[in-house]
Amino acid sequence: MTATPFPETHGMIPPLSPERPVIWPQRTHATLPNGLEVVLVESHTIPKFNGQLFFRTGNAAASAPGLAEITSSVLRTGTSARTSRQIEEDLRRIGADLSSGAGTDTSVISFAGLVDFSAELLGLVSELSRQASFPADEFERERRQMLEGLRIERTTPGFLAGERLRKVLFGAHPYGSVSPMESDVENYTLEQLKAFYREHYHPANALLVHVGDFSPQEMLAQVEKIFGAWLPGKSEPAPDPPLPVLQGRRVYLVDLPAAVQAQVLVGNRAITRKHPDWLRLTLANSIYGGAFNSRLVMNIREEKGYTYSPRSGAHPLRQHGYFSVHAAVRNEVTAATLTEIFYEIDRMRSTPVPPDELADARNYLTGLFSLGLATQGGLAGQLATTTLERLPEDYLETYRERILALTSADVLDAAQKYFDSANAQIVIVGDRAQLEAQAAQFGPFEVFDAQGKSI
């Protein structure tokens, strides 16, 4: 049988269709007399709503590392009116989800459910934010779980690398701590949790974001009824001490004996989302290592096979930001990997990005942005970010056109400012015996154990 030849056009990638406009739903932005900020957006795709109650303080403002995190976990386990079991039963009865957590700069209660039961779900959220009881047995259970999690983290190269880099970049600043030590958790007291809760869980420190199948006017009236009696308070801002001076490359080797691969992490301080250069840095990062077809991935994954998933990222915390590059590689190619990481950084800093590569990166970012708005949760998250960071009111609406307007010169400028090759800090986690000689090639180095102690 004779095979039928494929036409010449077989396998050709069709051109992109014209970009479709995003039709933005109108948002309702209000502040209650007690200071609670509220953002409501209609989304009638499904008969549900998605909500987040943010508090503008997290672990950076706590009196002990990780205190905001355990506070958020324990507050969910009981109120003055409901036990932990009753909370779970009530959530199942109305078909709702509810979780709580805390990060560096914020604490949050997240929830989702059917609009028909919104009053009941919001009532529970109000209870948790105003009347959490902090049961002693639940506190001890959460403490045990946190300790077990910390012991696991101390064996995880990615965690150890991130912890060391943050300590190097931010020093004694609260951002220098990403996780408590076991001794911190063992010394927590229930009164510390209650004190953090009293100081920071109040309406003047809070933002309530709702996206869903509702009338904004009716939902706002419901919010006013349920949260209006919440008493205001005042929170002290998180401390912002001076940052360490970082001059020249240095290497920090975290010894993990018998590790079969090395975790490589390179970073430098950068900017926050409020900086005028933020979108320029976002685009430069995408081209360098922030996307699957980026230069870093093509180099050390596709061409050289050193690693499976290298990545770079720009990390905007509230007070400061940083840029980082990470890869998990075979021990024997650790130095070669670092060489290529810096080669690609220096290429970004010295040579303008070609037009085709620039266009691909801009299209990728605008497409990713649109996908992130496709769900109620995604839209709520974007609205929360812009509101918490006090970004311009039209930040989301104009995001795509501002990305598409960026030029090769913008990317070069961002790379030269924020990919600080000469002063990059290098963290390597792995077997010291196999890595020490390679680490020494890139600058003066220090060695630490998995507990963060210098050895």
| Sequence ranges of the domains in the chain | 28-227, 250-448
* pLDDT tens-digit map of 349-360: 999 999 999 999
Residue 305, phi-psi category: left (phi > 0), alpha (psi -120 to 50), beta (remainder): left
pLDDT of residue 7: 57
Joined together, the tokens standing for residue 442 give: 């890139």
pLDDT of residue 332: 96
pLDDT of residue 374: 86
* pLDDT tens-digit map of 141-168: 999 999 999 999 999 999 999 999 999 9
pLDDT of residue 25: 82
CATH architecture designation of domain 250-448 = 2-Layer Sandwich (3.30)
Strands of 321-330's sheet, edge to edge?
A: 311-316, 321-330, 261-270, 425-430, 250-255, 445-448
The residue among 297, 267, 326, 286 whose CA lies nearest residue 410 is: 286
Q: How far apart are CA 227 and CA 229, in angstroms?
A: 6
28-227 and 250-448, same CATH topology:
yes
pLDDT of residue 11: 57
Please list the ranges in the chain whose pLDDT falls under 50: 1
Decide: residue 11, CB within 10 A, 0-12 exposed, 13-18 middle, 19+ buried.
exposed
Q: How far apart are CA 163 and CA 165, in angstroms?
A: 6
* Of the options 3.30.420.40, 3.40.50.920, 3.30.830.10, 3.30.420.240, the CATH number for the domain spanning 28-227: 3.30.830.10
pLDDT of residue 16: 64
Using the 8-state DSSP alphabet, how is residue 208 labeled? E
For every residue of 51-84, DSSP letters joined together read EEEEES--GGGSSSTTHHHHHHHHHTTBBSS-BH
pTM score of the predicted model: 0.93
pLDDT of residue 141: 97
